[in-house]
Structure 1
Amino acid sequence: MSPQRTVARRAPGKLFVAGEYAVVEPGNPAILVAVNRYVTVTVSEPGAPGGVSLSSDLLPRTAHCRWRDGRLGGAQPQDGQLLRDGLAHVAAAVETVTLLLAERGLPAPALDVSVASGLHDNGTKFGLGSSGAVTVATVDAVAAFCGLDLSRDARYRLAMLATAGIEAKASGGDLAASTWGGWLAYQAPDRTAVLDLARRSGVEKALREPWPGFAVRRLPPPEGLSLEVGWTGTPASTSSLVSGLHRRTWRGTASHQRFLQTTNDFVRASIDALEQGNREDLLRQIRRARQELARLDETVGLGIFTTELTALCDAAEAVGGAAKPSGAGGGDCGIALLDAEVSQDIAHVQKRWTTAGVRPLPIRPAMEGNEE
């Protein structure tokens, strides 16, 4: 397949429904849903021969780069700073696809990559998995530009390799949601083993070999329930919160083991409820998820629950729904599952959210993953 001159790909954002924090450990299940806010990545012929330019609508300038031993290096010091900060995931995605090209005897590409994000509000992130979405979209766009025809599984794996090289604790759940779309049951692979496989045997083999712990499958959406999303207006750093948890002596304790066991129990029960169309049990399990995250927060003191997230949850439960922080908490978004047929309850909850400083977002599940 010959390369194309311009390729655009987009990937949806995500929300965690249940299983955050526990999913960081390989093989522990979580439920995610892709949402209809997108990151779009466009790849085109380079403006300068042999060069690579990376840009984003969230950044003030373009990073001009050159290939150096399979890695992207900035042409100027300020370019290098952009590569390390705002464009780190884009650069890692480009580099990972280039490793695969090299194994297939193809040269490192010269290209322009531009990113447009719908997962932010005037530059402030909503907490919808923008890093994951941009990684998935970049992998797909660069691969297609270079003439590679990759399956969804291969695109996810390349995105996971790129992400794990930057954030060792990242579960990759956002990558799965951005790749497959819809409602998903997901288990993270052992990232150390996966990176080691790629280093020892190459990226090509890492795309074909079984990954320990990894599993993903589509789930039916909840019957008779509306997914409502509220944004606290305060961005939170997932990597900082997860890293903070791992720096504490809590890991390996009886409390840690209880958290993993309890989370696995309500996540698997939630999966069963979705597959059986049992909405009352699903609501019960999501309330358990809120309670367990609150217990974790009280035990470890991460600051998962803010005043706004607590108010978001309380408002939903007051009308018989279920709600919780989505993702690491500490800000960003919360989710609620409410009776889809009782519009006055939904309106009442949204009004209470607004009063509490929580912005209702017009977000709905995106049933398809990354696409043109």
Structure 2
Amino acid sequence: MLSGEWCVLEEGLPCIVMSVNAGISIFITPQDEYTFAAPDFQIHTTRFSYDDGNIVWRDSLNDIQQAQLHLCCKTMGITLQYLQSKNIDLRHFSLTTSSKQTIVEKDNGKKYKIGLGSSAAIAVGVVAAIFQLHDLDIEQAQNKKVMFNIACIAHYLVQEKLGSGFDIAASVWGGVTYYKRFSPQWLTEEMQRHGVVSVLDKDWPGLYCENLSFPENLRLLVGFVGYSANTKKLIRSLYEFRDKNPQKYLDKMREISVVVDSIKGSLLSPNTDELLGLITKNRYLLRDMNQFSYRKLETKELAFLADIAEEYEAAGKFSGAGAGDCGIAIVPKEKDSERILKKWQQYGIIPIDLSLSRRGAHVVTHGP
């Protein structure tokens, strides 16, 4: 995320999210029965059946595997239910996910998700693959909206209604997106009254997405600090503070949102010096939120990452919830990015070779 962490959880407040080229791949082929595989999680070909919005695994899965597949299971169920509602004949398929590009293996052999919104990307990819198999054009605007709605609902329900959907938007539309979340109260009430399918074709109150450009003279650097954050715990902790100190919390969110809107203006200008200064300001507003959480959002390693960026006349901050995962630096191309990357490594920060992706979910055809 470029700007707007945490404030995007509040209705009407924005963030700016960037889609990067660490892709999730979904492979789908027609088959005589439904099967699913996720080799990255040591889940090999597993059969399932579909019945009225529900996915039922026909082969034995342990509790850990079922938890790992919960999001894919929910996403496939809602997608097939939507197709049924449109009187589209369902086709059996074999679906395989690959998320290697969003995982880092450290020297000790342990593997870590690096906090790039991979679960959101998987949800979007699953919807897109099933749509494509059923001859729905995923580049068509209405279908993109429905893809967002399906993936967002699946992610929202699996994440215990805590997410804002910004990472879903990045995966659907790609590029740089100015985003405001939907009304969670409206969505919950509509689904309770009329069912999930009833909201899939609708425009959602509060939801706003606008594509922005990104200056060609700037480079994005991403560094992984070596440990992952528990986003759900962080959100609950922040919400606990919000419930006890509503005005203090909302004032801070509004401060951040003002910076987000200023960054949007700088991207439209563009004004490089102003943009870097605003990203730095966003960093310090987020650091102030350490007092709101059970643990620091800007940890020692994330602080090193940002300090090093500033030392070399760039701007750095944590990206996403904080407390681990990744930080970013925005660097003028005339500056020596390699010095930043080298110094990150000296502090144990792992550079991730990423760049802005202008495309969201799209089809790549293999074979003859």
TM-score, length basis structure 1: 0.88
Deviation at 1:88, TM superposition (A): 1.7
Q: Does residue 347 of structure 1 match 2:338?
A: yes
1:103 Cα deviation from its structure 2 partner: 1.3
Letter of the aligned partner of 1:101 in structure 2?
L
CA distance in 1, matches of 2:174, 2:128: 15
Deviation at 1:209, TM superposition (A): 2.6
Name structure 2 gaps, 5 residues minimum: 106-110, 364-368
Tell me, in whole angstroms, the C-alpha distance in 2 between the residues paired with 1:19 and 1:175: 16
Q: Is the 8 A contact 2:13 2:254 kept in 1?
A: no
Between the aligned partners of 1:224 and 1:105, the Cα distance in structure 2 is: 49
Aligned residues between the structures: 351
Counterpart position of 1:356: 347
Contact 2:27-2:96 within 8 A present in 1 as well: yes
> What corresponds to 1:9 in structure 2?
none
Q: Greater shift after overlay, 69-78 or 331-340?
A: 69-78
Tell me, which stretches of 5 or more residues in structure 1 are unaligned?
Answer: 1-15
Task: Determine the C-alpha separation between the residues in 2 that align with 1:193 and 1:108.
Answer: 30
Name which of structure 1's ranges 114-123 and 99-108 shifts more when overlaid on structure 2. Answer: 99-108
- Percent of matched pairs sharing the same residue: 26
> What is the distance in 2 between the residues matched to 1:292 and 1:266?
9
2:157 is the counterpart of 1:165: yes
Cα pair distance change 1:23/1:190, threshold 3 Å = same
**Aligned-pair distance for 1:266?**
0.4
Moved more, 296-305 or 26-35: 296-305
Aligned ranges 1:36-185 → 2 under 5 Å: 36-46=21-31, 49-50=32-33, 52-62=34-44, 63-78=46-61, 81-83=64-66, 85-106=67-88, 109-117=91-99, 118-122=101-105, 123-150=111-138, 151-167=143-159, 168-185=161-178
The alpha carbon displacement at 1:319 in A equals 2.0
Question: Distance between the aligned counterparts of 1:203 and 1:73, measured in 2?
Answer: 18
Equivalent AA in structure 1 for residue 176 of structure 2? W
AA of the residue aligned to 1:102 = Q
Measured in 2, the distance between the counterparts of 1:94 and 1:302 equals 35
Report if the CA contact (8 A) 2:7-2:254 is conserved: no
Distance in 1 (alpha carbons) for counterparts of 2:150 and 2:43: 27
Could you tell which deviates more after superposition, 28-37 or 68-77? 68-77
Measured in 2, the distance between the counterparts of 1:97 and 1:324 equals 36
- Deviation of 1:278 after TM superposition, in Å, equals 1.1
Measure the CA separation in 1 of the matches of 2:129 and 2:50: 19
Q: Secondary structure at the match of 2:20?
A: strand
| 2:351 alignment partner AA | P
Indicate which of 315, 321, 332 corresponds to 2:314.
321
Q: CA deviation at 1:221?
A: 0.3
Shift of 1:125: 0.9
Picking from 214, 217, 232, the partner of 1:221 is: 214
Question: TM-score, normalised to structure 2's length?
Answer: 0.89
Query: Matches of 2:112 and 2:189 in 1, distance apart?
Result: 35
| RMSD between aligned residues | 2.0
